[in-house]
Structure 1
Amino acid sequence: MNVRTICLAILYDGEATGYEIRKLSVEGEYSYFIDASYGSIYPALAKLEAEKLVTSRVEHQDGKPAKKIYSITAAGRAAFINSLFDELGEDEFRSEFLLFARFASELPASLVETRLNERIEQINVMLADFDKLSEDHPHPGDTWVIDYGRTCMVAARDYIQAHRGELIALARPDSGSSAAAE
């Protein structure tokens, strides 16, 4: 999936500014699908507009710069749906937590335990966010996607809780010096 597709997906649900598209793709409900930068969103929107898949209008604001609001056209809706017929790419998964876990043997046990506790708390916050998303998005497709994400996060939390002792056991004793201090 590319930035063009995520822009069309967001606009499929309603009008949005480039800023709102960025926010939805980084912090909002679309952040689970693709990360889109401002540097890629605006060129994609310009190209989509040139292809008549989206339109835009300028809205003036008192005391603020004018904002450009994008809307999807009928041709844009069709192009978006057609893009979903394309073969899907592989999911990308990056995790600072897993990098930390990879090097747990080089770290003090108390730090490893602290990071595990923090990760469990982060997952609990994500699960609460999924609950809020469920309340705000009654569409059956949204429900399925949210339940899928929830299931993945519950499995991750359960794995950490069940195997935390193994990772802590790999770590260095707290009384020893760390590699960074040497």
Structure 2
Amino acid sequence: MNVKTLCLSILYEGEATGYDIRQLCVEGECAYFIEASFGSIYPALAKLEDEGLVTSRTEQQSGKPAKKVYSITEAGRAAFADELAGPLGEDVFRSPFLLFARFAHILPRDLVEARANEFLEKNIASHRKLEEAFAERSSNAADTWVINYGRAVMEVAERHMRSHMHELITLARAEPKKDAAE
């Protein structure tokens, strides 16, 4: 899956600006699918428009610059369905925290403990967002299935952190003892 396909998926549900698409990719429902920056969204939208898969119109705004609103075409809907019907790529999981954990043994114990607690709190907050999304979108069976999958992943991650965080903290190096002469 690429950014063009992600843009088509969002436009399949309704009109959006590039900014709207970015928001959905950062903190909205699409944040769990693939990473998309402004630097990749706008070129993807331009290419989709060149290919006749989306159209755009400019809307004037009071006291602000005009905004470009994109809509999917019938050809875009068909291309999106064709893309989904093709082979899926591998799921990608990236975690700065796992890199941190991999090298916990070279870091001070208090830092590892603080980062582990921060990670757990972020996980709990993300889980809470999924719970809110479930409450808002539970009328759509496909959304419910995807959200429940995410909830299950978050629950396992939270349970693992709560059960094994002490092991990670133990891996960290103890603070060097201060010399009595200092």
RMSD: 1.3
1:64-104 deviations in whole A, cap 9, x for unaligned?
11101001111111111111011111111111111111111
Q: Supply the distance in 1 between the matched residues of 2:126 and 2:175 (Cα, whole angstroms).
A: 31
- Aligned counterpart, 1:46: 46
- Aligned counterpart, 2:169: 168
Q: Mean Cα displacement is larger for which, 145-154 or 41-50?
A: 41-50
2:127 matches 1:124: no
Cα offset, 1:176, TM superposition: 4.3
Q: Supply the distance in 1 between the matched residues of 2:22 and 2:157 (Cα, whole angstroms).
A: 27
Q: Supply the distance in 1 between the matched residues of 2:162 and 2:172 (Cα, whole angstroms).
A: 17
2:145 matches 1:139: no
Q: Supply the distance in 1 between the matched residues of 2:159 and 2:57 (Cα, whole angstroms).
A: 48
Q: Aligned with 1:162: secondary structure?
A: helix
1:23-102 correspondence runs (5 A): 23-102=23-102
Cα offset, 1:16, TM superposition: 0.2
TM-score (norm 1): 0.92
TM-score (norm 2): 0.92
Amino acid at match of 2:144: T
Q: Supply the distance in 2 between the matched residues of 1:174 and 1:44 (Cα, whole angstroms).
A: 50
- Number of matched pairs: 177
Q: Aligned with 2:76: secondary structure?
A: helix
Q: Where does the alignment leave 5 or more consecutive residues of structure 2 unmatched?
A: none
Q: Where does the alignment leave 5 or more consecutive residues of structure 1 unmatched?
A: 178-182
Amino acid at match of 1:27: E
- Aligned counterpart, 2:157: 156
Q: Supply the distance in 1 between the matched residues of 2:175 and 2:154 (Cα, whole angstroms).
A: 30
- Aligned counterpart, 1:180: none
